[in-house]
Structure 1
């Protein structure tokens, strides 16, 4: 025989309250879970197409090193027509004295060697057009990076003049704004020739010795 358990009104009320509270708690828990999933999905969305930048960083800008100097015009390549290389100045002049056709040639000293050149050109093609028998094109650079920018440091630019007139400067240009004795030397060279390739040669020959800061490199 099944016996029926009797409950008091207070117990029933407590049971109803307990069930009500559990229902509210379940609803709140469900809502919290849904909101949490939405936030996670938003954070997981891929970034828009385009350049990506790592978090916490900014695009780096190009920076010049401290103390860097714009030396793009302080080192220039030239092309000489070479007739010989000698271990001493006397040997070079001895050979030159027997070559009447080289009356406008010059000897250029580089380190402990002496080079006999007849002209210096701005491009390889121009130099090759001047090559004759027993000669060849000798590329080299004039490096004035160690020279004072206001004077000898201008030599690579000045020597790159395409015309004879480019080597000349009027009275409005002060001597202390040019390599030492530049105007005087240009005047002396113009007494020999008005060919810019030959003028350039004699100026290189002179300043290779006179400007100790100047470097000629092969």
Structure 2
């Protein structure tokens, strides 16, 4: 006696077709999984390269004091000692107007400071980066540099020179007079507002220790 069940040709064809479709779907799903996995791996592998000498492009300062002034610096490197930063500048003649900025335990080499990103031109191939930061100069008023924030935010060199002339005629003395002497020396050295801001920040953050940075 035969117990085998007979199937029609249509039933056999549908079963074969279903098997083929299931196989194709499985291959597509596996392929998609491999593509997604590889893509994530590539992103993690390449990522955004952060140079050891400084941060890329622009960063947004966080937790800055309410009266802090947002600025952007052209950064060439960051060092663990003032000596190594100074040596870096000495070895590159193009950095004659650069300055060392100390913030915490780091020493940054900057060559310009602007009010906007567009003022600072950088080149990753040359190792320069745009560094966003904020400066709080409110403590500088106690040492006669109460106009420091106003000067840093100025966009016209003539207005700075006018301010210097007005203060000279006022006959200020002591630390206020020293501030104006510094301003006179810097503006005689350069008319580039980006350099003026840089040199003022370098002096009042290190020698006077009243300008405080937030990154």
Instruction: Specify the alignment match of 2:113 in structure 1.
Output: 120
Tell me the SS of whatever aligns to 1:161: coil
The alpha carbon displacement at 1:204 in A equals 0.8
| Structure number with higher relative contact order (C-alpha < 8 Å, ≥ 6 residues apart) | 2
Once the two structures are superposed, residues 157-205 of structure 1 have per-residue CA deviations (whole angstroms, 9 ceiling, x without a partner) of 2211112223331123453698562221122223332111111111110
- Which of residues 170, 181, 202 is equivalent to 2:178? 181
Paired residue for 1:206, among 203, 208, 213?
Answer: 203
Q: Hey, what does 1:86 align to over in structure 2?
A: 79
Are 2:143 and 2:175, in contact at CA under 8 Å, matched by a contact in 1? yes
Q: For structure 1, which runs of at least 5 residues remain unmatched after alignment?
A: 1-70
- The change in CA–CA distance for 1:77 and 1:173 in structure 2 (over 3 A counts) is farther
SS at 1:140 equivalent: strand
The superposition leaves residues 41-60 of structure 1 with CA deviations (integer Å, 9 ceiling, x where unpaired) of xxxxxxxxxxxxxxxxxxxx
Superposition misfits of 4+ residues, deviation over 3 angstroms: 145-154, 172-180
2:96 to 103, 128, 132: 103
Which residue is equivalent to 2:41? Answer: none
Which residue does 1:131 correspond to in 2? 122
Change (3 A) 1:147 1:93: closer
Q: How many residues align?
A: 145
**Matching residue of 1:194:** 191
Quickly say closer, same or farther: Cα 1:184–1:153, change in 2 above 3 A. closer
Distance 1:211 1:136 in 2: 27
Structure 2 vs 1, CA of residues 135 and 148 (structure 1 numbering), >3 Å: closer, same or farther?
Answer: same
- Which residues of structure 2 form unaligned runs of 5+? 1-64
Q: Note the aligned Cα RMSD (angstroms).
A: 2.5
Q: Whole-Å Cα distance in 1 between the matches of residues 115 and 169 of structure 2?
A: 27
Q: Considering only CA atoms, is the larger Rg found in Structure 1 or Structure 2? A: 1
Q: Is the 8 A contact 2:144 2:179 kept in 1?
A: no
